[in-house]
């Protein structure tokens, strides 16, 4: 089955800097790669996703890149703000999603 590894487990950046979170997956049949933001005590919130026929997708300060050959995908957040502080999860799959273990992002002002 699918296995997703996510790095780093924690990430601290200064406000205004960029943050990058990376995930690798094992199943070449996976075709859907979403990213979720989860604040403490809240539900996961889909922030961006990409499908396997696309290499890059951007939405304002957030972008995701996918390298199918290497089986890895990354989340890029530019101009970070304190409200970006949260836990971020990557996932891979299709109808069945396998999640990474999460990255705690702290944006220091």
Partner 1 sequence: NAGVTQTPKFQVLKTGQSMTLQCAQDMNHEYMSWYRQDPGMGLRLIHYSVGAGITDQGEVPNGYNVSRSTTEDFPLRLLSAAPSQTSVYFCASSYSGGWEFFGPGTRLTVL
**Does residue number 54 form part of the binding site for partner 1 (CB under 8 A)?**
no
Contacting range for partner 1; rule: CB under 8 A; set: 38-46, 55-63, 66-74, 77-85: 38-46
Nearer to partner 1, 65 or 93 (CB): 93
Q: 83 φ, ψ to 5°?
A: -75, -5
Number of Cβ within 10 Å of residue 109's Cβ equals 9
- Is residue 70 within 8 Å of residue 63, measured between CB atoms? no
Q: What residues form DSSP beta bridges with 99?
A: 91
Q: How far is the CB of 97 from partner 1 (least distance, A)?
A: 6
Give residues 68-107 in contact with partner 1 (rule: CB under 8 A). 89, 91, 94-102
């Amino acid at each position: 089955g699918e296995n997703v590894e996510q790095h780093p487990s924690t990430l601290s950046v200064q406000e205004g800097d960029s943050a990058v979170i990376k995930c690798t997956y094992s199943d070449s049949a996976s075709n859907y790669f979403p990213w979720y933001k989860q604040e403490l005590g809240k539900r996961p919130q889909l922030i961006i996703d990409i499908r396997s026929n696309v290499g890059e997708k951007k939405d304002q300060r957030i972008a995701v890149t996918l390298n199918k050959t290497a089986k890895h995908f990354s989340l890029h957040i530019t101009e970070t703000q304190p409200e970006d502080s949260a836990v971020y999860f990557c996932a891979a799959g299709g109808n069945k999603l396998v999640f990474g273990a999460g990255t705690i992002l702290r944006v220091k002002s």
